[in-house]
Amino acid sequence: MTRRYALTAVTLALLNACAGVAAAQGPDRTGGRRVQLRLVADSGVVGHFRFTGQLTSRLVFDIPEDDPRHDLLAAVTAPQSTTRDVAGTVVSTPAAADEDRRYLIYWLGYRFSGEEDRTLSPVAWDSIFQKVGRRATLRFSPLGRPLGVQVSSDAVRPVARSLADILAGLAMALPADSVGLGGRWEGQVAVPITAPDGSRQEALVQVTYRLAEVSREPDGVRARIEFDGEPVGVSIGVRTVSGEYFGESVFSVSGGYYEEMMALANLEVNWEDTSGLPPSRTVIEWRGQLIRR
């Protein structure tokens, strides 16, 4: 796949950080052994997790500088950035091999920042969690596809929506069968994007996964997974979407959970002409991260 964007030093540093566990692995490699990658399906605490979604987008109108509308539209073309952090303790519930995985997450904290920042303070969110309950439900397919986040109170829907968006954009698909070193499988993710009218849209990305490394550590077997992909689907009002998606993750084969993951997307979305506005496109940089602590 041709890279349309150069990797910045920051991006390389983020990917290197995500690979930190793999870099520290011991000499005991599993060689040609095949491994089964499955999410944990027994009762118990899976771990404390932090989920981060960072979106930077810039709306560009394809219009000459001497067009009278150029200055009027300049105010809406400045880059917009938002960052959402969700922290929680994840607990698994029993499930058969062919059943959806159901997890409980107990909120530990939520933070939202951006130009339109209207977020509550951590103390205020903690007070809300105490009043309406800290628990939400996460559902995944047996092969790791996120199926949604359910909450019982409107007060915490912003947290649930943020977490659902992050999970939808992370490359979490697992292979249907056991896989050996270098083995590949396919999946799809949905990267969140914002239309010129402010509505929420998604860019569907076809992802190819590769089992890059398997090693035996004192606390069990770990797998390092590399992935990349390109957009294949468009939302309503989108003419074309192009770009790239890539990253890597570390999966605990013994534990049945992701230890960390970093995914990055560089996309360019060309919008259909609407409301008499000039042709427009949005340049998007998205970063999703999962860390188990």
Kindly state whether residue 134 falls inside one of the protein's structural domains.
yes
Torsion angle in degrees (nearest 10) through CA of 183, 47, 11, 209: 20
SS3 130: helix
* pLDDT of 230: 94
Kindly state whether residue 2 falls inside one of the protein's structural domains.
no
Kindly state whether residue 63 falls inside one of the protein's structural domains.
yes
Torsion angle in degrees (nearest 10) through CA of 147, 138, 248, 186: -20
* pLDDT of 26: 43
User: What tokens were used for 255?
Assistant: 């534990």
Residue 240 — left, alpha, or beta (φ > 0 → left; ψ -120 to 50 → alpha)? Answer: beta
Q: Which of 4, 2, 1, 19 is nearest to 262 (CA)?
A: 19
Cα four-point dihedral sign 234, 169, 172, 42: negative
Kindly state whether residue 1 falls inside one of the protein's structural domains.
no
In angstroms and rounded to an integer, the radius of gyration of the C-alpha atoms of the chain is 20
Q: State how far the Cα of 27 lies from the Cα of 61, in Å rounded to an integer.
A: 54
* pLDDT of 20: 44
Kindly state whether residue 264 falls inside one of the protein's structural domains.
yes
Kindly state whether residue 201 falls inside one of the protein's structural domains.
yes
Q: State how far the Cα of 169 lies from the Cα of 289, in Å rounded to an integer.
A: 10
* pLDDT of 66: 73
Kindly state whether residue 4 falls inside one of the protein's structural domains.
no
The number of beta carbons lying within 10 Å of the beta carbon of residue 31 is 8
Q: Which of 213, 176, 257 is nearest to 30 (CA)?
A: 213
**Domain encompassing residue 109:** 9-292
* pLDDT of 205: 94
Q: State how far the Cα of 284 lies from the Cα of 196, in Å rounded to an integer.
A: 13
**Contact by Cβ (8 Å): 247, 266:** no
- The widest CA-to-CA distance across the chain, in whole angstroms, is 67
Kindly state whether residue 20 falls inside one of the protein's structural domains.
yes
Residue 38's H or E segment, with its range, is none
Give me the number of domains the chain comprises. 1
Predicted TM-score (pTM) of this structure: 0.83
In tens digits, what is the pLDDT along the chain, a chain of 293 residues? 434 434 444 444 444 444 443 433 344 455 567 899 999 888 899 999 999 999 998 887 777 677 766 666 666 666 678 899 999 999 999 988 778 999 999 999 998 887 555 567 888 888 999 889 899 999 999 899 999 999 989 999 999 999 999 999 999 999 999 999 999 999 999 998 877 777 778 889 999 999 999 999 888 999 999 999 999 876 666 778 899 999 999 999 999 999 999 999 999 988 876 566 667 788 899 999 999 98
